[in-house]
Amino acid sequence: MNELAAPDSELSGFVTGTMLDSFLKIARVNLLTGEYQFLKMEKGLQDVDITHISSIYAYIKKQVDDHMIQTGYAEDYLRFSDPEYVQKRVFSGEQRIVQSYARKTEGVYVWVTFGIVAPANCGPDHPWAVFTWRLADTDTTTMVDALATLSVIYYKILKVNLTQDSYECVKVNEYELKTFVEKFSRISDWWSGFAEHGNVYPEDEEVYRQFTEMESLRAHFREDSAKLSCRYRRKIGEEFRWVQMDLVPSIEYSDQNQVLILYVKDVHDEYLLELQTREELLNSYYRDALTMLHNRQKYNLDLEQLQKGESPTLTCLYVDVNGLHELNNRLGHEKGDNMLCAVADTLRKYFPEERIYRIGGDEFVMLSTRLSKRSVERILTEVRGDLAQDNYEISTGVESGVRELPVYKIVGAAELAMRADKEQYYKKNGSQRRNRALNQELERMLTQKQDAEAFLKIISTKFAGVYFVNTKTDTLRHIYIPDYFRQLLEQVGYSYSAGLRLYVDRFVKGEHQQRFLDVLDYATLGRLLKEKKVLRFSYQKVDGTWMDLRILGTESPEKQETIWIFSDLDGKEAAQAEEAS
């Protein structure tokens, strides 16, 4: 045994020397009184005159007050100047506490690791521990740099043990440190107390409490190791901001020792942007693209909600626009769209606070839980007067009902009343009156210089079709359209080029079809019209008859409109055309 004494003594001396050499400062400290004695202090770290400082806690505070600690780390280091904070941690069983920070030494900042090392029996009866300071190693420096970066992003970083209902602080602000860390040793108490102190927005409190329910968390992570997240609004200063709490299993995690890392980060601005984008998409989904009123989908959804609601009454106004079909056929779909928008704008003007929908091509519905049937009928008088100034007319039906009556019956009754009103409109020669108005509008359009001069030079009494074609939008305004061509256009959504291709495929002989395909290349057509002003060719239909097509540009090239005139050829003209072909 004596032979081993010398080597043991040498080893002990080597270990002691190595340990002492790694530290810049070492102090023996009484945690209760703050009494201390430096066992070692490197000359470069004699930053505070300790002659008149009797407490280690005052010494640490003096370092901070003298700005020896870099600002970003001063708050964390300053905690160790609080005797109660240190005693609570050490006397509860923590035998080693470590905190890294940047401090000034000889005019430059270096990374220093501060530590408290306590024996197993350290407590009120044996309050002695060792405080140490040493240069941080490379790994520690890297980690502290990373945590400093994370501290900018995250309000809070904790290591949470669900099994023990405990936690360790990695990063916590001063408010939560004083209010929760120093009062609660269990994470469940912290979570609950956080909400009870008014730090969670009232509307989000239920979600927050469900997310932080301990047994639910334990069960979840036993079944699924994926990250768990919750968004809620928490109080930051005097305002509530959206934050996201993430719980991620630690590398130490097991079902018997459920250790997680908790992060709380600010997502306020990005989440508000997400909500705005989502609202815009939803609004787009529920809006009619032409009139910007609510559409059929929103109408159906609101009817379901109204049926479940508690409003005592519901009033429904059902509107049908008179003459839309005739207007589209005679003056073009652009004029029809203008009429629909005028009706929508007028309804918006007189019912600004009510829900208004375009539920079909020419049908509108207004739903109100505020207005009575009589009030709506009175307002309708002004609506009709406004629309009449543009020569527009509507058929309407109004019905009201109490909450006990299904909303669908109220709406159905309003629709029936509208149908009856429409029937009376046509019985009073409304159709003829509307057609006369359309004819007057057509005459007005044809006497305008941009369309009339080019058109009236070549118009004749024998034509099979006359169309103003917008080559930019591939739409048409027709002066005269045969029924069979109207049906073709309906099949292709009123695309002129698509409708004409159907016409060529079905009615034009194969050897004449290429002429049409050439002029349906609108870019080529535009160049040809600049050169010739008028394009003209004859073609034969599959039934043997001959036709003549003339295409002209208007005097308003910025509108990109062309005039297409189809005429039947008489016997002599047909023979000449056949001979020429």
CATH of domain 447-580: 3.30.450.20
Domain 19-136, CATH? 3.30.450
CATH number for the domain running over 288-435: 3.30.70.270
Task: Let me know if the fold of 19-136 is the same as that of 147-271.
Answer: yes
CA distances from 547 to 290, 481, 500, 531, 575 (A): 38, 15, 14, 24, 11
Question: Rounded to an integer, what distance in angstroms lies between the CA atom of residue 461 and that of residue 422?
Answer: 36
Q: What is the mean pLDDT of each run of 10 residues along the chain (581 residues)?
A: 48 60 87 92 72 91 88 84 92 87 77 90 93 79 61 79 90 83 90 93 94 94 88 91 92 90 89 78 79 91 86 90 75 82 94 93 93 94 92 92 82 92 76 51 49 45 74 77 83 88 92 90 87 86 90 70 83 71 63
What is the predicted pLDDT for the residue at 455?
46
SS in 3 state form for 147-214? HHHHHHHEEEEEEEECCCCEEEEEECCHHHHHHHHCCCCCHHHHHHHHHHCCCECHHHHHHHHHHCCH
Cβ atoms of 358 and 340 within 8 Å: the answer is yes
- Looking at domain 147-271, its CATH class is alpha beta
At 345 the pLDDT is: 94
Q: How far apart are CA 134 and CA 20, in angstroms?
A: 10
| Closest alpha carbon to 488 in 504, 466, 508, 512 | 504
Residue 453: the pLDDT is 45
Query: What pLDDT score was predicted for residue 18?
Result: 59
Quick one: pLDDT at residue 144? 62
**How far apart (Å, rounded) are the C-alpha atoms in residues 235 and 243?**
10
The pLDDT of residue 4 is: 40
pLDDT at 181: 85
| pTM (global) more than 0.85 | no
The pLDDT value recorded for residue 458 is 44
**β-sheet bridge partners, residue 540:** 546
Domain spans, the chain = 19-136, 147-271, 288-435, 447-580
How confident is the model over 178-212, as pLDDT tens digits?
Answer: 888 888 889 999 999 999 999 999 999 999 999 99
What lies within 8 Å, CB to CB, of 261 at 6+ separation is 157, 158, 159, 160, 170, 247, 248, 249, 250
